Chains A and B, each alone.
Chain A
Amino acid sequence: GAVVSQHPSWVICKSGTSVKIECRSLDFQATTMFWYRQFPKQSLMLMATSNEGSKATYEQGVEKDKFLINHASLTLSTLTVTSAHPEDSSFYICSATGFDSYNEQFFGPGTRLTVL
């Protein structure tokens, strides 16, 4: 149980285009989803927290107009990187918590974004 998927697992795009990453909880209802960014061999940097049906809460320094987060249902959250640039290239990871797992986050496998 408690499986979180991400799609796509990797994506390459041209500078200036937008990319959408999906995060799904497959066997539980995710009341809260988290989006992280990770650079090689570094820790996870929390970008934002989203609760189903409400606006995401962004961490300080994260551009909300650039990283659009939608959490429209209890099983799906999306992160859209708008007008992507090479410096946005990174590993993006989502996680989720449910009604019965409030203390534990379940992580997706991550999405590797490369912007050319």
Chain B
Amino acid sequence: AQSVAQPEDQVNVAEGNPLTVKCTYSVSGNPYLFWYVQYPNRGLQFLLKYITGDNLVKGSYGFEAEFNKSQTSFHLKKPSALVSDSALYFCAVRDFGSSNTGKLIFGQGTTLQVKP
């Protein structure tokens, strides 16, 4: 079965410092990986995805993620955090199960708190 894990419930970082939000996955075959961000009482906003190609993926709002096949990881990064980056972040992997409807399997989410 395919799964995604986000080992940290919360990440705290000072504004201007680099941030990393961790994600590891377990899939059979090549993974399709996604990062989404959710602000309070809002839906999810797409940040970036890895399907194939370069291991370093650049996305919205200055975020990037590195696909590491050997470590089965897809950590989200940003060189310089902003207070406005404070939100709930979800890593997801596409489920290629028998139904193959394109459904996503989400991690449990990581709250990012950026302090001024």
Q: List A residues at the B interface (Cβ < 8 Å).
A: 4, 6, 32, 34, 41-44, 46, 49, 51, 57, 91, 93, 95, 97, 102-110, 112
Contacts and interface: CB of A to CB of B under 8 A. Distances in A.
Contacts of A57: 99, 101
A106 B46 CA distance: 7
A46 B97 CA distance: 14
B103 A34 contact: yes
Contact of B44 (A32, A107, A112): A107
Contacts of B46: 104-107
19 contacts: A4-B43, A32-B101, A32-B102, A34-B104, A41-B109, A42-B109, A43-B106, A57-B99, A57-B101, A91-B41, A93-B43, A95-B44, A104-B46, A104-B49, A105-B46, A105-B102, A107-B45, A107-B46, A110-B42
Contacts, number: 58
Contact of B109 (A43, A104, A107): A43
Interface string B16-48: 000000000000000010101000011111100
B83 to A, nearest CB: 20
Given A57-B101, A103-B51, A104-B46, 19 more contacts: A6-B43, A32-B102, A41-B88, A43-B90, A44-B44, A44-B90, A46-B104, A51-B101, A57-B99, A93-B44, A103-B32, A103-B49, A105-B104, A106-B46, A107-B36, A107-B44, A107-B45, A110-B42, A112-B41
